[in-house]
């Protein structure tokens, strides 16, 4: 292997820059040339590649986002788009590719590997819904941002005797909501994996009010059937029954915008180094992720055809602790 490319794809995640840095510097250490591909798979198709030196990735480990840019690319979902991408790689004598991203990005990586091109994926998404890594790059930082918001909302909620619906990201996965809820001391948590009856939730809020609670925080996953919007609508017509006055806050992309914490910087650094190691061993068509403290390579086929399950036992614990 002489030249490799690295790209970030899908939703950005705090720690992606640390992963790029590790890929570039460990790649250079092996004597390779490393190209940064801009704007994810879109840049691969449009031949947007820059030669990266050790200096080019200096001063980025502490920055959120991705210095390479990211995109969600419709053209890459077609075989024609993928073939064009491989043509662009081959034209520059690039013989290995590192894809930093979540589910959609690793599905793209699998498709490229099926066409015979050596690819290694790095597990990165704030949603923590990717099979092959117990925790993915960006999750810890996103959780801490959500927690800071919950702590602040609790202060104002208590002053006004209010209930707050706090919606967090996560796509179809309730991980962020569940962990932010339990660590933020929420009174209730609403996630897609467990059916929520808004009627029952109203009863629980009223009961919390009657027990003398000064506030109620309900952490809601955006992917839940009753997301913050639907719950707000539902409770509008039942407000007198809650006791608390209700307010709603959607954290949205704020969660993705933070500077990565120590956990994400270290995870991204280890995964970046592991990706070039796998490429040099010729073990491609895999995703590198963290499992039981070790960096493990899992075949991309297994990654894209398996579903990561959420440990819902924490949901029951959160119910007890939120009393």
CA distances from 250 to 43, 167, 256 (A): 31, 5, 13
11 binds ligand F6P (CB under 6 A): yes
Among residues 12, 127, 129, 140, the one annotated as catalytic is 127
- Nearest Cα to Cα of residue 131 among 318, 279, 299, 292: 299
Instruction: Please count the other Cβ atoms lying within 10 Å of the Cβ belonging to residue 131.
Output: 18
- Nearest Cα to Cα of residue 121 among 302, 239, 272: 272
Yes or no: say if 184 and 217 are a contact pair by the CB < 8 Å rule. Answer: yes
15 binds ligand F6P (CB under 6 A): no
| Interacting residue with ligand F6P among 171, 215, 265, 270 (CB under 6 A) | 171
The string of DSSP codes covering 32-70 is -EEEEETTHHHHHHTT-EEEE-TGGGTT-TT--S-TT--
Starting from the edge strand earliest in sequence, which strands make up the sheet with 216-221, in order? 188-190, 216-221, 162-168, 245-250
For ligand F6P, give the closer residue by CB, 125 or 133: 125
For ligand F6P, give the closer residue by CB, 253 or 323: 253
Binding mask 211-230 for ligand F6P (x = CB under 6 A): -----------x--------
DSSP label of 285: S
256 binds ligand F6P (CB under 6 A): yes
For ligand F6P, give the closer residue by CB, 2 or 253: 253
Q: Environment class of residue 243 by beta-carbon count within 10 Å: exposed (0-12), middle (13-18) or buried (19+)?
A: middle
Token representation of residue 97: 């590719």
Helix (H, G, I), strand (E, B) or coil at 161: coil
Q: How many residues bind ligand F6P (CB under 6 A)?
A: 10
Smallest separation (angstroms) from ligand F6P to the CB of 306: 18
Q: Residues with Cβ < 8 Å from 233, sequence gap 6 or more?
A: none
311 is catalytic: no
Stretch that binds ligand F6P, among 48-56, 148-156, 167-175, 300-308 (CB under 6 A): 167-175
For ligand F6P, give the closer residue by CB, 177 or 202: 177
102 binds ligand F6P (CB under 6 A): yes
Stretch that binds ligand F6P, among 77-85, 165-173, 207-215, 270-278 (CB under 6 A): 165-173
146 binds ligand F6P (CB under 6 A): no
Binding mask 104-143 for ligand F6P (x = CB under 6 A): ---------------------xxx----------------
Q: Which residues bind ligand F6P (CB under 6 A)?
A: 11, 102, 125-127, 169-171, 222, 256
Which residues are identified as catalytic?
A: 127
């Amino acid at each position: 292997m002489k030249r490799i490319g690295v790209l970030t794809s899908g939703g950005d995640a705090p720690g992606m820059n640390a992963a790029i840095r590790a890929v570039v510097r460990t790649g250079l250490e092996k004597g390779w040339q490393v190209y940064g591909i801009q704007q994810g798979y879109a840049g691969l198709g449009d031949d947007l590649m820059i030669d990266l030196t050790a200096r080019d990735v200096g001063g980025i480990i502490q920055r959120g986002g991705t210095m390479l840019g990211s995109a969600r690319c419709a053209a890459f979902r077609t075989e024609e788009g993928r073939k064009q991408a491989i043509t662009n790689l081959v034209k520059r004598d690039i013989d290995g590719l590192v894809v930093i991203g979540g589910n959609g990005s690793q599905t793209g990586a699998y498709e490229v590997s099926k066409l015979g091109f050596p690819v290694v994926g790095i597990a990165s998404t704030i949603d923590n819904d990717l099979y092959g890594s117990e925790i993915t790059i960006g999750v810890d930082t996103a959780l801490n941002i959500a927690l800071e918001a919950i702590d602040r909302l609790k202060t104002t909620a208590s002053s006004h005797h209010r209930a707050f619906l706090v919606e967090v990201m996560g796509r179809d996965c309730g991980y962020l909501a569940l962990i932010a809820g339990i660590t933020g001391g929420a009174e209730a948590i609403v996630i897609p994996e467990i059916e929520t009856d808004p009627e029952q939730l109203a009863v629980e809020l009223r009961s919390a009010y009657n027990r003398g609670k000064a506030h109620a925080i309900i952490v809601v996953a955006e992917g839940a059937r009753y997301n913050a919007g639907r719950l707000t609508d539902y409770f509008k017509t039942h407000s007198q029954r809650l006791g608390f006055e209700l307010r709603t806050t959607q954290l949205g992309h704020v969660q993705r915008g933070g500077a990565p914490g120590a956990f994400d910087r270290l995870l991204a650094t280890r995964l970046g180094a592991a990706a070039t190691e796998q490429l040099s061993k010729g073990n491609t068509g895999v995703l590198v992720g963290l499992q039981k403290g070790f960096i493990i390579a899992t075949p991309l086929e297994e990654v894209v055809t398996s579903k990561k399950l959420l440990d819902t036992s924490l949901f029951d614990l959160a119910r007890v602790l939120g009393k």
